[in-house]
Amino acid sequence: MEKVMNILKPKPNPQQLLRDWQRRLRQECRNIERQIRDIQKEEKSVQKAIKEAAKRNDMGSAKSLAKELVRSRKTVNRLYENKAQLNSISMHLGESVAIARTVGHLSKSAEVMKLVNNLMKAPQVAVTMQEFSKEMTKAGVIEEMMNDAVDDALDSEDIEEETEEEIEKVLTAIAGETAAQLPEAIRRKEKLKQPAATSEETEENVDDEEELEEIRARLARVRS
């Protein structure tokens, strides 16, 4: 019965398909914009934590947080690229529909296929683009892609290695002024230093570590 209904059900025309695809592409762009805002909001907390770590002369934590900041900024750059590619897909689909008015059907678009294939490798939009790929293949806009390639894209994290130079630049930009004041701070600390850490100092160090871990975890969540 279901097969009969599918046969009797009128197929959506190119204009209807375009409106639906463009609506979903706009929604995906809004999702990306929201993720960018969330990441940038968390980055402010990280910058504050880097300055506080530098004031404590805890440059190990400061550098670790600077590395997280570099990774987040790379993620934001990739998200902007993904958004631009989504907009480009929408534009090319509009051109395909314009041509369809003349030839009577949707034709294959090598450019749309290339963009969809690129976005299927982006973790943030890979699942959505897999759905688009199936629909556009069925509509005749792109050719069928290899499932193995899709699976590989979904499993890939595509994490780039952060260079020491990038991390140092971030650290200098955020904690440079604070770091310049460290020698005097260190001297004061050494003058007041006790043979062994007090329970208050130990508790404070534990609290600092827990706070840093919480910041890292929040940043990792908004990046995923």
Distances in whole angstroms, Cα of residue 122 to Cα of each of 47, 160, 186, 192, 211: 27, 13, 45, 52, 31
Take residue 222 and report the two structure tokens written for it: 């908004």
Which residues make Cβ contacts (< 8 Å) with residue 185, sequence separation at least 6?
55, 57
What's the pLDDT at 205? Answer: 60
What tokens does 133 get?
Answer: 């790929």
What are the structure tokens assigned to 53, written together?
A: 């770590």
The token pair that represents 199 in the structure block: 């329970």
Q: Which residues of the chain have pLDDT under 50?
A: 1, 4-5, 8, 148-159, 182-196, 202
Cα separation, 53 vs 70, whole angstroms: 17
> pLDDT tens for residues 149-170?
444 444 444 445 668 888 888 8
Give the start-to-end residue ranges of the domains of the chain. Answer: 8-157+174-223
**pLDDT for 190:** 37
Q: d(Cα 59, Cα 81) in Å, to the nearest integer?
A: 33
pLDDT in tens, 78-117: 999 999 999 999 999 888 888 877 776 778 888 999 999 9
Q: How many CB atoms lie within 10 A of CB 123?
A: 18
pTM (2 d.p.): 0.74
pLDDT at 222: 79
Nearest-angstrom CA–CA distance, 3 and 175:
66
Q: Which of 54, 34, 49 is nearest to 214 (CA)?
A: 49
* Residue 165, pLDDT score: 86
Contact 128, 96 (CB under 8 A): no
Could you give the CA distance from residue 160 to residue 82 in angstroms, rounded to a whole number?
A: 17
3-class secondary-structure state, position 62: helix
